[in-house]
Amino acid sequence: MIISVKLFSTEDSLHNENIKLLLLRFYQYSCRIAATMVESRGSMSPGEGSLEVKKTYMFGSVCSRDPLKLLTRWLILLIFLRISFTSTDPDVEGEALIQLLRGLNDCNNQISDWNNYFVTPCYSWSHVTCRNGNVISLSLASNGFSGTLSPSITKMKYLVSLKLQNKNLSGFLPDYIANITHLQNLNLAENNFNGSIPATWGQLSSLKHLILRGNRLSGSIPDAIASIAGLAELDLSSNNLIGSIPMQLFSVPTFNFTGTDLNCSSSLEQPCVSNALLPVSTNKSKVKLVITSACGAFVLLAICAIIAYRYHYIYRLKDDVFVDVSGEDESKISLGQLRRFSWRELQLTIDNFSESNIIGQGGFGKVYRGVLSDKTNVAVKRLVDYYNPSGEAAFQREVQLISVAVHRNLLCLIGFCTTSTERLLVYPFMPNLSVAYHLRDSKPGE
């Protein structure tokens, strides 16, 4: 019986070719050992060599009539075949990520290490987390992409976390996300998705965190979403959603429906927002209870001190607030003149904080030029490393103090924006820039 096996590959990488060459040499070396063992036993009769094997490959051919040779060569051959074919098979998850990146319109080549030449994305691809050779997490938050969400995302069957927030993605929320059955964390906040929430997402039985804040979603909340038993966080705020809210969603530990036209209110039965903490383990709850009990007196004193401070501050605000500036008439500015902007509004005003809109930069942060919806040109200062132990209330007090400063050479504050992580001030845009800008290049004596 003649058995012929042809091995060839034209698309293997240089690394795999080197491995094949080493295996081929080991294969030939094993053949010599087997031949030596046969010679040491003596010659064989013609009847003993009843099986002839011929292997043909790109480096030549080898024949054998000895069973030991046959077994040794076939073992090496199987290893050779495994490396040849497994190394050339395309990685499904890797191709899915490449297609996803194309759909996100990465024109600026922000992600350059996603390469088809690597066997698996688990090797060294950024923004990707793997477990047991499968992609389980993809986080591309705040990378400034645009485009749509490619259907190739469904090829990552073991995906647990998908974070694509703070981008400019558009289109409808895709139904096919429901096919990612292991998905637990889905964050598509601060994008331009429109249309309704797919009812098929109710099939995501493992989903725990669903964040769709700051999009242009419309319609009502599907009842199927309320059927997700393990849902621990639901944020649908700042959308165009309308209608009633399924009662089951009010039992979700953390939810937010503010900034919508949904039927909710400040009542205890159907509130628009819940700040409840996510459930913790029983042991942690006991420890927390003990610590809270031990520190009860201290917390009570701290609350009393805060109340006293706020009362004192409010009492002081009843007095008129003036800023004395030499050469100017004293003018009182009402705090009601300040406008509080939403994060989404300023994001659209300055083109998602594009670098091309930067007109200045200093120790407190960058200044962006933008145009409001009423065609007003503004300059938006984005503060960096801002921290105040008193939180948002302290920031608003500082804004109030800035707003009462009046002088012909000082810009009047238009408004502000504050979130849990951002602090922004909005001023009118001055096309002639600042005095410092014009003095910087002036000659001595000017």
Which residues are part of a known binding site? Answer: 381
C-alpha span between 330 and 430 (Å, rounded): 24
Q: Which amino acid is at 321?
A: V
Residue 254 and residue 230 in contact, taking contact as beta carbons nearer than 8 Å: no
Q: Which amino acid is at 76?
A: I
Our measurement of the distance from residue 268's CA atom to the centroid of its chain's CA atoms, rounded to an integer in Å, reads 33
Q: Where are the extended beta strands (E) located within 67-187?
A: 128-131, 134-139, 146-147, 161-163, 168-172, 185-187
Tell me the pairing of strands 377-383 and 423-428.
antiparallel
3-class DSSP assignment, residue 371: strand
Q: What DSSP string describes 1-28?
A: ---------SS--HHHHHHHHHHHHHHH
> First CA to last CA across the chain, in angstroms?
103
Q: List for the chain the helix, strand, coil content (%; round to 5).
A: 35, 20, 45
Residue 259, CB half-sphere, CA atoms under 13 Å: how many?
17
Bridge partners (DSSP) listed for residue 256: 235, 273
Residue 408 and residue 328 in contact, taking contact as beta carbons nearer than 8 Å: yes
Q: Dig out the tokens for 415 from the structure.
A: 């408004």
Residue 230 and residue 207 in contact, taking contact as beta carbons nearer than 8 Å: yes
Tell the burial category of 169 from Cβ atoms under 10 Å away from its Cβ (0-12, 13-18, 19+). Answer: buried
Q: Dig out the tokens for 111 from the structure.
A: 């992600």
Q: Which amino acid is at 414?
A: I
Residue 221 and residue 246 in contact, taking contact as beta carbons nearer than 8 Å: yes
Q: Dig out the tokens for 215 from the structure.
A: 């999009």
What residues are designated binding site for ATP?
Answer: 381
Tell me the pairing of strands 240-243 and 128-131.
unpaired
